[in-house]
């Protein structure tokens, strides 16, 4: 395979041979401990902290439970922050903890300026932010602007008010089709299954208008053409910026603006707006109008001291289209789901890495990398599945089960490859333990609305959201002080527990620690990738003084010359790199 040297992406390391700037935990601590209102205000797109950060996603329900009610909470997170500094990440992103009926695990927000009692109090959030920053960890919170909860005061007001009222105009209400208005206004489907419209009963008791919800019925979509909606979210941003957060992960960032005519869309609903196939852009995703919103937000963030960032959750393909979200006056980063979705083959990985770097280079933004999050099958299981029939939305009893050993082996290789790439990387809690998906969860235990809304055809996302194991022999594996756990933990969780892996050579946890330490020492995140020529089943590149090689094929290959500093699995008896192993080698 001819792998040309990557054409762009050289400007970030203009003087080859210059040793990378050392950035130790101590300097980070000092920086974050200083008064945040007097930090450097220059958000330089080439050197800002986020350009090379490793950001750890905390899913609060499932990280650590302080009060034993079986649901993780903010004090639980604060008590476990030392784990994150020991692991060596730069920042945390917290999934929603706001007041919510929990129709979609908190992505249905009833009040954007408070904390749900399930997770603690606003004072607990303040403490978590302060304690994180005192340890040199930046904090990103989740912002959910596409929809509110149906329990939000605005939605209650909309239901109480008449059709055509200003209260209704903050959402997407329409009359139904047909003589009695009994048919939904268009054919859109919810991402979770079933229609994207629900009919309401008017205040006088008559069947009334319909409202749009691209997700659950408990998540009515907001109308982003309404100035009150725009003003409200600017104020919500200010609320959290004033509390000291370092940024926002923006939920469904590609969904806020809908095509004005709400035209029918005959295709099956997906959250992904792909342009890889030859069909028009869906009328609900990636409309050009969203960019104006983010420009306004960016101006607000830039008016704050410190380097505050916006991260787009935008399921948009191809990479060039996604890059529009990270133009210089918009967001700072966008999740690279094309990387997450890419197959585990050398050509596919080469293509996605190259395209990702080129697309973000073209707009001067850092590239990001991600393999797991709370919406997809964990990569330790995904990479052990035969995905030729498509990517499953969850795995359950009766489904083809992953090959756990193969999945973990590939996951470790994939992670070591990812952490060697220039740019910023996202980790999902538990992946540092090599945690698999819970693929045999009893269906009665499932909580993701996807399972019921899809008519029990899509298992959904519960399997990646199971509370994580800290101590092998403790109740709930140390998740909390009791056995309670909002989703059942599988019996073999003990072998993945942190206390079994910490200090154990070759454990997944120690692999992550080593990789994160070397990544920092070598400045891999701000380096420059140069491909090496290889055969069709191997990828190899140089970055910041390391050579990285992944063997995707069955035939063992010799490692590059130099000192082996990290390997995702043992070399074979002849010191060659076997199938599904990544190595990092330092030129000696
Ligand atoms: C994306 C979130 O990651 C997911 O968990 C949620 O269900 C949808 N957005 C709707 O908010
Ligand atoms: Mg709790």
Cα(224) to centroid(ligand 2), Å: 35
State pLDDT tens for residues 422-457. 999 999 999 999 999 999 999 999 999 999 999 999
Catalytic residue among 52, 65, 142, 251: 251
Cα(490) to centroid(ligand 1), Å: 24
Q: Tell whether the model's pLDDT for residue 200 goes beyond 50.
A: yes
* pLDDT bucket at 458, cuts 50 / 70 / 90: very high
Instruction: Report the alpha-carbon distance of residue 533 to residue 541 in Å, rounded.
Output: 9
Q: Tell whether the model's pLDDT for residue 27 goes beyond 50.
A: no
Tell me the domains of the chain and their CATH numbers: 153-212 (3.90.400.10)
Q: Is 144 in the pocket of ligand 1 (CB under 6 A)?
A: yes
Lowest mean pLDDT among 27-41, 153-167, 413-427, 448-462: 27-41
Q: Tell whether the model's pLDDT for residue 373 goes beyond 90.
A: yes
Instruction: Report the alpha-carbon distance of residue 315 to residue 513 in Å, rounded.
Output: 30
Instruction: Write the CA distances from 570 to 95, 403, 449, 511, integer angstroms.
Output: 36, 19, 42, 12
What is the per-residue pLDDT for 278?
62
What is the per-residue pLDDT for 587?
86
Residue of minimum CA distance from atom 6 in ligand 1? 107
Q: Tell whether the model's pLDDT for residue 8 goes beyond 50.
A: no
What is the per-residue pLDDT for 2?
41
Q: Tell whether the model's pLDDT for residue 191 goes beyond 90.
A: yes
Q: Tell whether the model's pLDDT for residue 352 goes beyond 60.
A: yes
Question: What are the strands of the beta sheet with 530-531, ordered from one edge?
Answer: 530-531, 538-543, 546-551, 581-586, 563-567
* pLDDT bucket at 15, cuts 50 / 70 / 90: very low
Ligand nearest to the CA of 255: 1
Residue of minimum CA distance from atom 3 in ligand 1? 375
Q: Is 448 in the pocket of ligand 1 (CB under 6 A)?
A: no
Q: Is 104 in the pocket of ligand 1 (CB under 6 A)?
A: yes
Cα(420) to centroid(ligand 1), Å: 28
* pLDDT bucket at 40, cuts 50 / 70 / 90: very low
- Tell me if the pTM is above 0.85: yes
Q: Tell whether the model's pLDDT for residue 149 goes beyond 50.
A: yes
Catalytic residue among 246, 313, 330, 462: 313
Question: What are the strands of the beta sheet with 91-94, ordered from one edge?
Answer: 333-334, 309-312, 247-250, 138-143, 91-94, 54-58, 424-428, 368-370
C-beta atoms surrounding 345 within 10 Å = 14
Atom of ligand 1 nearest to the CA of 192: 7
Share of the chain above pLDDT 70, in %: 91
Q: Is 462 in the pocket of ligand 1 (CB under 6 A)?
A: no
Cα(375) to centroid(ligand 1), Å: 7
With H, G, I as helix, E, B as strand and everything else as coil, classify residue 110: coil
Q: Is 228 exposed, middle or buried, given 0-12, 13-18 or 19+ CB atoms closer than 10 A?
A: middle
Q: What is the mean pLDDT of residues 166-193?
A: 97
What is the per-residue pLDDT for 391?
83
Q: Is 59 in the pocket of ligand 1 (CB under 6 A)?
A: no
Q: Is 437 in the pocket of ligand 1 (CB under 6 A)?
A: no
Cα(481) to centroid(ligand 2), Å: 10
Ligand nearest to the CA of 460: 1
Query: What is the SS3 assignment for 498-538?
Result: HHHHCCCCCCHHHHHHHHHHHHHHHCHHHCCCEECCCCCCE
CB 572 within 8 A of CB 578: yes
Instruction: Write the CA distances from 347 to 3, 20, 319, 353, 530, integer angstroms.
Output: 10, 30, 17, 10, 16
Ligand nearest to the CA of 222: 1
Mean pLDDT of the chain: 92
Helix (H) or strand (E) holding 134: helix 122-134
Cα(58) to centroid(ligand 2), Å: 14
Residue 296 annotated in active site: no
Q: Is 375 in the pocket of ligand 1 (CB under 6 A)?
A: yes
Q: Is 297 in the pocket of ligand 1 (CB under 6 A)?
A: no
Q: What is the mean pLDDT of residues 206-214?
A: 97
Residue of minimum CA distance from atom 5 in ligand 1? 375
Residue 242 annotated in active site: no
């Amino acid at each position: 395979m001819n792998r040309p040297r990557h054409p762009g992406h050289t400007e970030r390391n203009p003087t080859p041979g210059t040793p990378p700037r050392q950035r130790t935990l101590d300097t980070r601590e000092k920086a974050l401990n200083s008064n945040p209102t007097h930090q450097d205000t220059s958000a330089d797109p080439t050197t800002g902290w986020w350009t090379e950060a490793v950001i750890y996603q905390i899913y609060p329900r499932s990280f650590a439970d302080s009060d034993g009610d079986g649901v993780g909470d903010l004090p639980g997170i604060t008590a476990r922050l030392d784990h994150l500094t020991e692991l060596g990440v730069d920042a945390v992103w917290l999934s929603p903890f706001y007041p919510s009926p929990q129709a979609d695990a908190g992505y249905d927000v009833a009040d954007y300026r408070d904390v749900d009692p399930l997770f603690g109090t606003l004072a607990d959030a303040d403490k978590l932010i302060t304690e994180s920053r005192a340890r040199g960890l930046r904090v990103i919170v989740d912002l959910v602007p596409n929809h509110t909860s149906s329990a939000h005061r605005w939605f209650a007001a909309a239901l109480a008010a008449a059709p055509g009222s200003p209260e209704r105009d903050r959402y997407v209400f329409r009359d139904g089709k047909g003589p009695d208005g009994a048919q939904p206004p268009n054919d859109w489907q919810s991402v979770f299954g079933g229609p994207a419209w629900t009919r309401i009963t008017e205040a006088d008791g008559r069947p009334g208008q319909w409202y749009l919800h691209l997700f659950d019925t408990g998540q009515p979509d907001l109308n982003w053409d309404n100035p009150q909606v725009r003003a409200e979210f600017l104020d919500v941003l200010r609320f959290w910026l004033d509390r000291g957060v370092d940024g926002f992960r923006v939920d469904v960032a590609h969904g806020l603006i809908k095509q004005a005519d709400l035209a029918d869309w005959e295709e099956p609903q997906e959250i992904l707006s792909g342009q890889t196939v030859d069909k028009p852009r869906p009328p609900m995703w990636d409309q050009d109008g969203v960019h104006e919103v983010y420009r306004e937000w960016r101006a607000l963030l830039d008016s704050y001291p410190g380097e505050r960032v916006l991260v787009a959750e935008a399921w948009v393909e191809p990479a060039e289209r996604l890059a529009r979200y990270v133009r210089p006056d918009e967001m700072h980063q966008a999740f690279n789901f094309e990387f997450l979705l890419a197959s585990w083959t050398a050509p596919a990985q080469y293509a996605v890495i190259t395209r990702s770097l080129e697309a973000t280079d073209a707009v001067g933004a850092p590239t990001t990398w991600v393999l797991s999050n709370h919406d997809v099958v964990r990569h330790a299981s995904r990479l052990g599945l035969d995905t030729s029939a498509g990517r499953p939305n969850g795995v359950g009893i009766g489904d083809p089960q992953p090959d756990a050993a193969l999945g973990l082996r590939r996951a470790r290789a994939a992670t070591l490859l990812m952490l060697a790439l220039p740019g910023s990387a996202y980790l999902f809690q538990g992946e540092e333990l090599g945690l698999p998906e819970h693929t045999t969860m009893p269906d009665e235990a499932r909580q993701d609305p996807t399972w019921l809304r899809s008519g029990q055809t899509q298992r959904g996302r519960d399997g990646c959201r199971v509370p994580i194991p800290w101590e092998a022999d403790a109740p709930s594996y140390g998740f909390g002080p009791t056995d309670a756990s909002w989703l059942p933990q599988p019996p073999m969780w003990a072998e993945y527990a942190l206390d079994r892996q910490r200090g154990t050579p070759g454990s997944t946890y120690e692999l992550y620690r080593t990789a994160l330490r070397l990544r920092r020492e070598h400045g891999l995140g701000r380096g420059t990738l140069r491909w090496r020529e290889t055969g069709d089943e191997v990828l190899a590149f140089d970055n910041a003084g390391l050579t990285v090689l992944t063997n995707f094929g069955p035939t063992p290959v010799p490692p590059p010359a130099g000192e082996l500093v990290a390997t995702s699995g043992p070399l074979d008896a002849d010191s060659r790199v076997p199938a599904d192993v990544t190595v990092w080698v330092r030129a000696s």
